[in-house]
């Protein structure tokens, strides 16, 4: 497995594994033993970078990741997140922001136990909390690092200004934000800021939450509990409109004797050397396919051709419904 250096010297496998979907977001939790097998197969294939959060399944995913990866202590890196708590106004859904220093410490202590580790390799603020100065957030994580409970600090979906303010208090190792051929908003300002400050990028939803694989069409039905049922971008009419993008990527992939997913990941990896995407999956076959993207090489001409083509296709639909405003970050 190729390695990628994020900020502060943190080295991870170039392809990581996003574990959220094993517990939440895409319908009911998957079979526990099957997911443990997927994660352990990932280790066997060279993946050393695993992503979770306390909010994923209300601790379910951290417990699952902790059990699956306990035999590989010292061989793998686990990233988790703080920043949410149950919101009574939303029926107890984990949508209320809370990045108060006392809450950060409470979450970190819980995550250490659930993940069965002595220190959290990478601790992200899951979303920016406008009620808590980012300097206080960075200061709280800095204290945890000084105590040996956390090794690296990260942010998610933060603005360039927020990144700079946090970095001035505690060097930021990585930014986790959505980035793919389907969503390129961070190219405007964020990528340049990360490069200037020496911060790595961990793209989530690098396959457009499954859409860029070609496995989702306008006629696809999602399970109950799948957040895509509520996402404007996944409304049937939006999927029909956005199919042009998938068709383009699929046609390009056919020329490369690769899959659409592999081309989408190869495109991301070609953007910067400090980019480590974390595609999620519940299937070993998809895991192997995603890792196979490391063998897809895109020339300068092919990258330019692909970018020019996708930029001619407008994307229909917002990422999140209005009630998910806390997920938009910044």
Establish whether 56 is a catalytic residue.
yes
Residue 278 and residue 49 in contact, taking contact as beta carbons nearer than 8 Å: yes
Choose, from 56, 124, 179, 320, the residue flagged as catalytic.
Answer: 56
> How far does Cα 173 stand from its chain's mean position?
15
* CB-based burial label for 30 (10 Å; 0-12, 13-18, 19+): middle
Asked if 133 contacts 99 with a C-beta cutoff of 8 angstroms, the reply is no
| 2 contacts 14 by C-beta, under 8 angstroms | yes
Sign of the alpha-carbon torsion through 185, 138, 121, 115:
negative
Distance separating the N- and C-terminal Cα atoms of the chain: 33
Q: Can you tell me the distance from the alpha carbon of 88 to that of 154, in angstroms, rounded to the nearest whole number? A: 28
Q: CA 277 to CA 14: how far, in whole Å?
A: 7
Give the residue numbers marked as catalytic: 56
């Amino acid at each position: 497995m190729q390695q990628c250096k994020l900020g502060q010297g943190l080295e991870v496998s170039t392809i990581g594994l996003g574990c959220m979907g094993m517990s939440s977001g895409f319908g009911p939790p998957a079979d526990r033993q099957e997911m443990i097998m997927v994660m352990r197969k990932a280790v066997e294939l060279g993946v050393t970078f695993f992503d979770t959060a306390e909010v994923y399944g209300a601790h379910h995913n951290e417990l699952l990741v902790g059990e699956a990866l306990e035999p590989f202590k010292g061989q793998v890196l686990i990233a988790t997140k703080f920043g949410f708590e149950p919101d009574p106004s939303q029926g107890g859904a984990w949508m209320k922001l809370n990045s108060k220093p006392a809450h950060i410490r409470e979450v970190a202590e819980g995550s250490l136990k659930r993940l069965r580790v002595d220190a959290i390799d990478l601790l992200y603020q899951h979303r920016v909390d406008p009620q808590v100065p980012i300097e206080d957030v960075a200061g709280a994580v800095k204290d945890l690092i000084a105590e040996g409970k956390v090794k690296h600090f990260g942010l998610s979906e933060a603005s360039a200004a927020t990144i700079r303010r946090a970095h001035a208090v505690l060097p930021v190792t990585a930014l986790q934000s959505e980035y793919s051929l389907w969503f390129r908003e961070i190219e405007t300002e964020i990528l340049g800021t990360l490069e200037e400050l020496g911060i790595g990028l961990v793209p989530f939803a690098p396959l457009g939450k499954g859409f860029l694989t070609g496995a989702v069409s306008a006629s696809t039905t999602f399970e109950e509990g799948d957040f895509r049922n509520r996402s404007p971008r996944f409304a049937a009419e939006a999927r029909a409109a956005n199919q042009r993008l998938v068709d383009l990527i699929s046609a390009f992939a056919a020329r490369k004797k690769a899959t659409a997913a592999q081309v989408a990941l190869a495109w991301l990896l070609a953007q910067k050397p400090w980019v480590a995407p974390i595609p999620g999956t519940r299937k070993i076959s998809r895991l192997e396919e995603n890792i196979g993207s490391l063998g897809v090489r895109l020339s300068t001409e092919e990258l330019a051709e692909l970018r020019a083509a996708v930029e001619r296709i407008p994307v229909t639909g917002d990422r999140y419904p209005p009630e998910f405003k806390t997920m938009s970050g910044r």
